[in-house]
Structure 1
Amino acid sequence: MTAHFNHTIIASTDPGRMAAFYRDLLEAEEAPSWGPFTNLQIGGGVLLQFATPPMEFPPQHYAYLLDDAHFDRALALIRERGLEHWADPQRSQPGEINAEHGSRGVYLLDPSGHYLELITRPYL
């Protein structure tokens, strides 16, 4: 395989607030921003670009692979901030995490309403 994921634009109602949320949760690095984009960098050099689109946008799903220690810190932050979270994408198990696929996982919504999934092991 020669393709590598490089960047994505995440539609945001407030790009600065979104970047701060992701920076704290994912322990992302600041990156130079330009034009309408507020940028962060995560592992593998992947750039997350937050921008307000000129139209309504549907919520998206973004899954992030964290090591166990980072997952523990992220979960502690979620709980400390009183953020709603679920063990499942259907949001039927509030306040819980899951242990599927030999992993630990949790789902939550970001400030713009996108679905985030944090997992400790890849599915494949």
Structure 2
Amino acid sequence: MSAAPHAELNHTAVYASDRRLSAEFLAGILGLEVGAPFGPFLPVDLGNGVTLDYYEKRDEPVQGQHYAFLVPEERFDAMIARLTAAGVTYYADPGHTEPGRVNDLFGGRGAYFDDPDGHNMEIMTRPYVRP
């Protein structure tokens, strides 16, 4: 068996107080669909081989995490429009101090918003440039 040249993220669990509400929220903003339940998980397939598996956590509060999505430039405005239509405030910065604005980091555009459980979601049209 030969070793893979690199590792790829396949899936991750996203904790939610209501897995259907949270999965449908994100899928709706990104223009995706929620998949069929898989055991205790409700998947959102991102289309690049990665699945977000929403898992309902009822016994304790959900701790907010950060999830960033690289999206096509031509779909960005539609996502912003869906956030606006849903009454969700988006921000140019991760600290949520610049409401209703987008950023222009790395020659692209980006915005941050909270999902129903307070996960800090990010949409961006260009990946971060790392030194």
Shared fold, TM over 0.5: yes
Question: 3-state SS of the aligned residue for 2:26?
Answer: helix
Question: 3-state SS of the aligned residue for 1:72?
Answer: helix
Identify which of 24, 41, 44 aligns with 1:40: 44
Q: Does 1:20 align with 2:9?
A: no
**Tell me, which stretches of 5 or more residues in structure 2 are unaligned?**
none
Cα distance in 2 for partners of 1:80, 1:57 equals: 26
2:18 counterpart letter in structure 1: D
Q: Please report the TM-score for the alignment, with normalisation by the length of structure 1.
A: 0.92
- Deviation of 1:103 after TM superposition, in Å, equals 1.3
Check conservation: 2:24, 2:34, Cα contact below 8 A. Answer: no
Question: 3-state SS of the aligned residue for 1:86?
Answer: coil
Cα distance in 1 for partners of 2:92, 2:32 equals: 23
Q: Does 1:121 align with 2:111?
A: no
- Deviation of 1:12 after TM superposition, in Å, equals 0.3
- Deviation of 1:55 after TM superposition, in Å, equals 2.8
Could you tell which deviates more after superposition, 54-63 or 2-11? 54-63
User: Partner of 2:35 in structure 1?
Assistant: 31
- Which is higher, the Rg of structure 1 or of structure 2? 2
Q: Aligned residues, how many?
A: 124
Let me know the Cα RMSD of the aligned residues.
Answer: 1.3
2:27 counterpart letter in structure 1: R
Question: 3-state SS of the aligned residue for 2:48?
Answer: helix
1:10 counterpart letter in structure 2: V
Identity %: 35
> Which aligned pairs between 1:4-83 and structure 2 lie closer than 5 A?
4-53=8-57, 54-83=59-88
**Tell me, which stretches of 5 or more residues in structure 1 are unaligned?**
none
| Residues 27-54 of structure 1 deviation map (CA, whole Å, 9 limit, x = unaligned) | 2244332221111211212111101234
1:88 counterpart letter in structure 2: D
Q: Does 1:86 align with 2:80?
A: no
Check conservation: 1:36, 1:51, Cα contact below 8 A. Answer: yes
2:97 counterpart letter in structure 1: S
